[in-house]
Structure 1
Amino acid sequence: MNPKSLPNDTPYGCFDLLATLVAVVRPDGVCEFANTAVETLFNLPRRAVQGSNLLEWFVDTGRLIEALEGVSRNAFSSSRFDAVIRRGPRTHDDLLPVHVIVSQTEDPERLVIELIENAQQTRQDREERNLDQVHATKELTRNLAHEIKNPLGGIRGAAQLLALELQPTALWSELEEYTEVIIHEADRLQSLVDRLLAPYRRAQVVGDVNIHEICERVRSLVLVQFPRGLTIQRDYDISLPDFRGDREQLIQAVLNIVQNAAHALRDRIAQGDALIVLRTRVARQVTIGKQRWRLALELHIEDNGPGVPEEIKDRIFFPLVSGTDGGSGLGLTLAQTIAQQHQGMIDCDSQPGRTDFRITLPLP
């Protein structure tokens, strides 16, 4: 096979099976092929990466230029060095340290660049912790909710019987007020328990789901709540196929995350520069819960808010943990549960000025 012709499925298609980021470039850094790991890292469809210049992604381009020139003129067969790349547009300042390997091919006009993430293992460990956390939360939530539910019904029933037994006296109105408080608070706790158990009680209504229809529904709902000061941008990969899932549950999961982002942006909304980005991408060769999937969709919900408070970063998917005043702390718990029921997961990358919740769901 002639390596000088580069259709997308030949002759470098085998690179798509690697977890390592691999690109085939010309000596000037222009990318002619990028494997799926590069596509996933840069959050760009492959057609946008191919044809771009990889020099734009490096913070310091000097070492890369030197390596490309040296390897292309056969001064040495390969070059290794550490560098820092940007995972997104320059405005995001989202930096990632990598180890770079530049190697020759049979064609001196085409070179192979490998990028090995120094933080790759850290991210995998975090995803495993998130999955363990989801399983623990599920068991804790179900057991705790059932333990609360039974005595709560008895308390409410006793308060109702007591209210019926009260005789009109001087203290009647005051005592009736007390029983009403008991009944009201019992109902409030019952509602909380019902919300905790909702994902486990309701049978899934499975059908064909389009992720962009879900995003559009959520976008319209949130913009009704926040008509001024908030912009919700779309960045969709329209090549993503439909998949099987529970549409209403997935709407609820995405809505919970977007509403959380909007509430976290309240100061920026007041200033008029609050931004949420809904970004969809396809991911290949993805591992979710120790199961390998050939294809998956990724929905990134990114905002320019203050970030998740440091003290709760590791606990944001726990029930009753909230970073906002008056929050129930159930939104992210329910969203993670719904994602898990679709064999997916949600993780979060947050720092001041940029928070990115990523929903990953397998595709058939």
Structure 2
Amino acid sequence: MLNRADLIKHKSTYQQQLASQLVTAVMVLDEKLTIQYLNPAAEALLIKSFNKLFNVAFEDVFPNSTIDAARLQQVIESGQEFTDSDVVIYLGDSYKFTAEITASSTEFNQSPHILIELKQIDQQKQISAEAFQQQQWESARDLIRGLAHEIKNPLGGLRGAAQLLTKELNQEQQEYTAMIIEQADRLRNLVDRLLGPNQLPKMTQQNIHSVLEKVSQLISFDNEKDIILIRDYDPSIPEIAFDEDKLLQAILNIVNNAIQAIEPANSITLKTRIASNQTINGKRVKLSILISIIDFGPGIPEDIQDTLFYPMVSGRSNGTGLGLSISQTLINQHKGKLSCISRPGRTEFMILLPLSEGKSEEI
């Protein structure tokens, strides 16, 4: 049985070593709000060592954070801790992350300090956002399909009646029934497109670059805007099972949208890479193929970015809003994921296809 002094020493040893083992980033500030301690997790998160950040003011490390000096000073004065679950932290001009921060009052060497715990939550936010968008897209697709079927049934009757009526009319009057039939056919074609692909993909083992080469060839046949297609392929990517026609249509829809958005003589990049530890439809996939379609046009309007893959949503006044929705359906049929990052001057559509379905795990 340890005596009190040995017990305190034993506890202190564990406390000293425990902070360095924590996955959660831990930071300690003194009453002047300068950094006095960082554990290794915090050094990794901030991409700087404790030696470089020791005695540096909190505001100098986090210049644009929503956690300001006045809020931290209040923790020292009141002793009341706070937690903020959605703090965007900027480190320089090119790197930022979202974190959950808890700040609490503590004491070191009989002096008030602040203990700050930081937990990066970008991945959780992304998974939640993607799951919500997927659910919304499926709901919108089901609604559109239900409406399409309701339209298609009476449309067939209307067309049939016009055909029967044509036999009873003279040639001049037949022009009117011909117009009814023509417009009924046009609406039926639109409805068929709204319903989307209804056949399961026929999967065969192939090289993914064969599809991209066909896309490049098709674009070169009709290239009025003199668009330059840049191919940046990873030749080490192994063969994967996919439906060539369906994947070709999905990629071609995206490339055609890009061509319509950018100025003549601009470029579009088709890029392939191996991606590791990606989340696809709620599953962690160890290895997947990433296909990127990148253009340097005006970007997608912010107000439609969250609903970009919904049927009938388009950024162009003359667009039908069906191309990307169909691409989303086709990629989903391959158990893949289609996403987009866009800002003025750069838009990137990303297609993730799992290399091996057996190498995925639920999150």
Deviation at 1:119, TM superposition (A): 4.4
2:200–2:333 contact (8 Å) kept in structure 1: no
Letter in 2 for 1:264: A
Give the one of 133, 136, 154 matched to 2:136.
133
Match of 1:165 in 2: 168
Q: Is 2:88 aligned against 1:97?
A: no
1:98–1:116 contact (8 Å) kept in structure 2: no
Q: Is 2:184 aligned against 1:182?
A: no
Distance 2:92 2:206 in 1: 35
Deviation at 1:309, TM superposition (A): 2.0
The gaps in structure 2 that reach 5 residues or longer are 1-22, 26-45, 63-89, 100-117, 357-363
Counterparts of 1:13-162 in structure 2, within 5 Å, are 67=48, 70=51, 81=61, 83-84=90-91, 95-98=94-97, 119-162=122-165
Residues 198 and 69 (structure 1), Cα distance of their counterparts in 2 relative to 1, 3 Å cut: closer
Give the one of 324, 335, 339 matched to 1:347.
339
Which structure's CA Rg is the greater one? Answer: 2
Classify the secondary structure of the residue corresponding to 1:287: strand
Classify the secondary structure of the residue corresponding to 1:298: strand
Give the one of 218, 222, 226 matched to 1:225.
222
Distance 1:340 1:133 in 2: 14
Classify the secondary structure of the residue corresponding to 1:199: coil
Classify the secondary structure of the residue corresponding to 1:137: helix
Q: Percent identity?
A: 42
Match of 1:315 in 2: 307
Letter in 1 for 2:253: N
Give TM-score, length-normalised by structure 1: 0.65
Match of 1:205 in 2: 202
Distance 1:242 1:344 in 2: 16
Deviation at 1:140, TM superposition (A): 2.1
Letter in 2 for 1:251: L
Match of 2:234 in 1: 237
Distance 2:152 2:302 in 1: 33
Deviation at 1:232, TM superposition (A): 1.2
Q: Which has the higher contact order (CA 8 A, sep 6+)?
A: 1
1:347–1:359 contact (8 Å) kept in structure 2: yes
Deviation at 1:99, TM superposition (A): 8.1
Deviation at 1:141, TM superposition (A): 3.3
2:216–2:229 contact (8 Å) kept in structure 1: yes
Distance 1:99 1:130 in 2: 20
The gaps in structure 1 that reach 5 residues or longer are 1-17, 21-62, 87-94, 101-114
Distance 2:314 2:335 in 1: 25
Distance 1:81 1:237 in 2: 38
Aligned length: 265
Q: Which moved more, 1:340-349 or 1:120-129?
A: 120-129
Match of 1:292 in 2: 284
Q: Deviations over 1:111-160 (max 9, x none)?
A: xxxx9867444433332223213321332233222212111100111111
Letter in 2 for 1:213: S
Q: Is 2:235 aligned against 1:260?
A: no
Classify the secondary structure of the residue corresponding to 1:204: coil
Letter in 2 for 1:70: N
2:141–2:311 contact (8 Å) kept in structure 1: no
Residues 277 and 142 (structure 1), Cα distance of their counterparts in 2 relative to 1, 3 Å cut: same
Letter in 1 for 2:319: G
2:288–2:353 contact (8 Å) kept in structure 1: yes
Match of 2:245 in 1: 248
Letter in 2 for 1:130: Q
Q: Deviations over 1:23-48 (max 9, x none)?
A: xxxxxxxxxxxxxxxxxxxxxxxxxx
Letter in 2 for 1:161: L
Residues 119 and 317 (structure 1), Cα distance of their counterparts in 2 relative to 1, 3 Å cut: same
2:127–2:282 contact (8 Å) kept in structure 1: no
